[in-house]
Structure 1
Amino acid sequence: MAEKRFFSLQYKVLLFSCVIIIIPVIVLGIISFVKSSQILQEKVAISNMNTVKQIGNNIEYIVKNIGDTSLYLIQNEDVREFLKLKGNEPADVISKKKIKIETDLMQLMASKSFVDSIYIKGFNNFELNTTGTMNIIDVNTIEKAAGLRGGTMWYLNKVFNYNNKSADVFSMVRIINDIADVSNKLAVLKISIGNNAFYNIYKDKILGKDDDFFIINEEELIISATNSAKIGQQFNYEEYGESSFDTSEGYFKFNTLDRHCLVTYYTIESLGWKVVNIVPTNELLKENIAVQGAILAAMLISFSLCLLLAIVFSKRILRRIKLLNKMMVRLEHEDFDVYIEPGGNDEVTLLSRSFNKMSGKLRELIQKVYSVQLKQKEAELKALQAQINPHFLYNTLDNIYWMGRMEKAFETCTLVEALSKLFRLSLNSGNEITTVRSEIEHVKNYIVIQQARYKNMINFTLDIAPEVLDCTTLKLVLQPLIENSIVHGIEQKGDNGQIDIIIKQEYEKLIFIVSDNGYGVNLEEIERLLNGNTVNNKGLAIKNVNDRIKLYFGEDYGLEFFNRKSGTTVIVIQPCKRGSGAE
């Protein structure tokens, strides 16, 4: 039988360490790269969405500004008077009016850098035009504008300078009607902006040469684009999946065999226009190249360090490993008093100290488990005893109830029954949370007892919204407030009283309102009571309710007191949640 070749344990540990280092480092590197790419794409997509939205807002501002300018011109008295001229006025009068208005138009344009020209063609054959341009409005456009009944329309067209050179513009056209007689059309107003007006908004946002921006009107016509050759063409939504643009804003990935890009869009609701940005994915992930290099460097550094530690480990681990193994065997046999004297300053020493801590922790945990088991048994006995006392009380009250019925003391029976239900609902099987329905039942039993005491002196009303009956609430919230209204409100007043209880939902909040027509309260004293300590247990029940609500639900909830013209109103605010009433 051939003798097996000898491999030292150090060599085996080193070889195994290399394997277990390489695999996690590679896997972690790949996961880190993929995850960083996803996070970067998501961040860039969100940033791009905000950019596109801002571009849309800026475009909307320009369009609104031009609309406001047109309204200003329509309401301008000089313009309207000029457009009402018959043509038989003296030439110098007409000329002066024309010069004055065109001067005003030039000054108006000076404050709006995006306006290329303003042109008004009167139906009295007079024209107003900013200097340096010649405008033409075709009959078809005039008819379309007239059909809008004072509305505006935008269209692509050209203007000409006095050298007869044309320039592409995007123009707003609307009819100017006589304010005194809106059926009387005075002129056609045309305000034009240069093709670069919208381009200037997004030109600084272009990420690369293949990054495309499109401004698309409600007729799916491209009115502005990074590539000016596409202006005036129809935008093909179907190419990107038409349903992808169904929402008012968003972004999605669009991939084909030769194209991978991110499409971001935003709808200018007031205009029905869309801002669309299409950017290649590789343009978005330029920064990821640096991340890829950093991850690769981190992988190499991590591997080198881990390999170095593995070599050191493999050389020094074997000397005390047997002792450690021996102590582990003793520990396995439940000898928890084992201890290894630490020696040296290497990994085995740390492992020995950890072993000592582990054995000590095990000894401590076993003692704790034993102690907890004893306390648990004791708690179970106390819980059983606590269940006996309420049952004894319920049975006793039940006996009194039936004895009262036998003796025909029906009013006493009613009070005993109400008191029994009051106790049962107060305990709520040990749960601090109950339902509004149970809380109302508890209040009704309390009211029965109080009405028996005060006869017709106090009138109670309950106004409960049906939808809140299954909402959860802290138990014993209303009873202390009603008792406070009786003792400190109605009794101090010394006259018949009224207590109104309203329970409703307001947004995501559950609202209890308790109002009385009693003596009223000192709001400063109530504020001190709720935020400080009670003196001689005064107001302890009210403070207890407020503190319990804030403890369970937070500082946004609790009690609020208000004085009315006659009496006091307490508002209880809790979160509106639905449940079974158990914690």
Structure 2
Amino acid sequence: MKKWYYRLSLRRRLWISFLMLTVLSIALTGLMSYWIAFRSTEQEAFISSQNTLNKSARVLDEKLRHIIVTTSTMMLSDAFKSAMEDVYSHSSGSYYTRLSSMQIPLGQMKLIEPSIQSVLIYTPAGELYATTDHRSQTSFKDTLFSRYLDSTDRVIWVEDHEDPLFLGNQRVISLIMKPITDLNVHDAYVVVNVKEDAILSAITDDLLVPADHYFLVTGSGEAVLPLGSRSSSFQRDPEFMKLLQRQQRGFFKYNMAGSPYLVNYSRLTLADNWTLVSVQMQSDLLRQVNRIKTTTLWIMLCCAILAFILSNVISSLLLKPLHKLQGLMKRVEQNNLDVRFTSKYEDEVTQVGLKFNRMLEEISSLIEDVKEAEFDKRKMEVKALQAQIDPHFLYNTLNTIIWKSESSQNQDVTEMITSLSLLFQLGLNGGNEMTTLAKEIDHVRQYLNLQQKCYEGLFDYTIELEDDSLLDEPILKIILQPLVENSILHGFQEMEGMGIIRISIIRLSDSLQLRVEDNGAGMDVQTVKADMRIEQSLKKSYALRNVYGRLRLHYGSEADIDLSSEPHISTSVTLTIPLAGEGYNDGDRT
């Protein structure tokens, strides 16, 4: 009997198993019916909660918009414009006149928008505020608002806090706006403190469930308003906060401490870093479906027990060879090619397993051949890429040496020849592709010294190293020089002022970051990125492409180049490479 069973095909054994499991079809039908009802009810619960949440978010957005509009209207008043003219002309003699004239616009703001608690207009010529509000002794720039003053945003909302500007210890949400004026006014800000209760009322007035189910947070998980106690555990969960950033609004299911929750969220438009979130336990929303589930489970209990016994015993018996083969395949996925399949059966799975064994043997042999061929290919490609870089700047350097020699500038000639000698000595590096960070820094310093002689008064440079312990780190040679060459040749040639090159080197968690930044003419980042990743290009500029190719050939996908450009302000090329022993395996072989 056992031998007969072993000779059965897998198809025959599965047919026998399916015949035995047919009796469970009714139970499966019941489960599917319950599942459909469950999913439908759950979807309706999501949509209903989302509609309520979206309405509250729109109400809050409208409240914030009205506050911004009210503040902007105040800035259009003649009194405010006169105050800005004093700031622009650095005149403080009319301070008390301006303070008096601003009382009407500030009073009108509170009448138009009753939720406004207080307003402070900070200027270098003096602070302007409603005299009915009692100003505290705390300097404006010593408060929590100081961290927002360097922001480029014209409108900034600050989360719930105790008002540091006026007496009374009121809990407020603050709006920071830069003045709306035609004048080039610096260091002037309008701070509008909004009553916390007014914002709470805007959110909770139309809610169908208690406010304890809602919370308003920033993208980093900080509470904007204390709406409920349940929110804290979710705000401390990084995975939960990450899900809130996927879209502008939506819903999802989330498990916390073993309990499923239905989560709806909607991001505000006027404070796009603020998100209104609703969190409700799934059991609270699906009580009616849970009653159906309980009844169905009692009806299906006997069938479930029988199905559990039969399915486990039969599936484990029939599919054991497949599970074994599947397990071997997973081990192969983990680069373990030494596994082999064995079985006492004589069915189709066994035949597949034997062919699987032969395939592994052939793959192992081919991998060894490919490794050797790929290694030789990569070495030759690295040397070919490097060869394109070395002569690129030599022509101008030699011409400058000749010119200075004919002009009897012997000291400059001596220094340039010395730098050129050191440059080649460091570049050759004894024929090794790898050098140390210290030598790479010295190499690019010699290059920059040469270029300063060639282009006198064109640029200056600095090299900043975060930690001297990085100097001994191994690094691919000649990767900084092509980057500074680009800055000089393409960034500074048409500049009227002095060019600045800043080289900074820092350690990240498991990698090294090298950044070359200049204030030159900049670049089209998208075009350069596209050209950089093309192995063969008709364009003459190949420095970035060569550096990118060498990094990828040596370090693989763990190395990358990032570009950014703001013409005549900051154009940077950032290299990220793994530290020794991190992210690559061929460093010793190259």
Please confirm whether the aligned pair reaches a TM-score higher than 0.5, indicating the same fold. Answer: no
Relative to the length of structure 1, the TM-score reads 0.38
Relative to the length of structure 2, the TM-score reads 0.38
Which of 1 and 2 has greater Rg?
1
